[in-house]
């Protein structure tokens, strides 16, 4: 009988102690959540992310863990965050997906993950296009220089062609005159005698 009373007392005490531990963890998590939220409101995103990360690791199995993990993911992609990190947001979403979620929470996490991956792909494509555009602008500059040189050469050759053409015309005129003179001299060889 004595053992039964001791065993029952032990179980009651254990339940009370674990309840006290759980409530202490909830209170601690609540205090840290308030701190993280104040940092978030004051736009200290990196510090808020660190605080939410600490909550997610330190206060496992509290009612605040899921919220902290999700907030860490969201703040990493917040438009006003100067240090947006899509890969870090994806890793937080992976952690979030491994928690006990409702079907709606799972679906939202999946949609957000897909959108972030799509943003990443678009950013990569944008970077590639920017590099290509830069290279093509450099090539365009080189081609414009070559075109300018060719145009200058063309103008020079056209002037030279014009001069040569004029000289050729003068030579033709002289040749025509000489031909007329020769023809005139050969047509009347008797008249000159």
**Which tokens hold the place of 24?**
């202490």
Please tell me the distance from the alpha carbon of residue 14 to that of residue 18, in angstroms, as a whole number: 6
Both tokens assigned to 105: 């929470």
pTM given for the model: 0.59
Determine contact, residues 109/101, Cβ cutoff 8 Å.
yes
Low-confidence ranges of the chain (pLDDT < 70): 1-22, 187-193
Determine which helix (DSSP H) or strand (DSSP E) holds 30, and give its type and residue range.
helix 2-41
**Which pLDDT does position 11 carry in this prediction?**
55
pLDDT for 190 equals 54
Query: What pLDDT is recorded for position 17?
Result: 44
State the pLDDT at residue 45. Answer: 93
For residue 188, give the 3-state DSSP assignment: coil
CB 46 within 8 Å of CB 58? no
Q: Is 161 exposed, middle or buried (0-12, 13-18, 19+ CB in 10 A)?
A: exposed
| pLDDT at 21 (0 to 100) | 47
- At 6 the pLDDT is 64
Between the two ends of the chain, the Cα-to-Cα distance in Å is 173
Tokens of 94: 């992976």
What are the counts of helices (DSSP H) followed by strands (DSSP E) for the chain? 5, 0
Q: Tell me how far CA of residue 181 lies from CA of 67, 166, 167, 191, in angstroms.
A: 112, 22, 21, 15
């Amino acid at each position: 009988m004595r053992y039964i009373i001791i065993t029952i007392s032990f179980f009651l005490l254990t339940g009370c102690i674990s309840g006290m531990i759980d409530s202490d963890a909830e209170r601690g998590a609540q205090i840290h959540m308030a701190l993280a939220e104040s940092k978030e409101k004051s736009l200290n995103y990196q510090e808020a992310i660190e605080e939410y990360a600490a909550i997610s690791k330190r206060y496992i199995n509290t009612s605040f863990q899921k919220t902290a993990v999700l907030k860490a993911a969201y703040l990493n992609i917040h438009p006003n965050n100067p240090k947006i990190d899509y890969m870090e947001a994806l890793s937080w979403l992976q952690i979030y997906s491994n928690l006990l979620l409702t079907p709606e929470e799972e679906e939202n996490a999946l949609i957000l993950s897909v959108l972030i991956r799509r943003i990443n792909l678009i950013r990569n494509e944008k970077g590639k296009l920017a590099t290509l555009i830069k290279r093509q602008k450099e090539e365009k500059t080189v081609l414009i220089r070559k075109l300018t040189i060719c145009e200058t050469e063309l103008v020079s050759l056209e002037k030279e062609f014009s001069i040569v053409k004029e000289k050729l015309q003068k030579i033709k005129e002289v040749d025509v005159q000489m031909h007329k003179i020769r023809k005139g001299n050969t047509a009347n060889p008797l008249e000159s005698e």
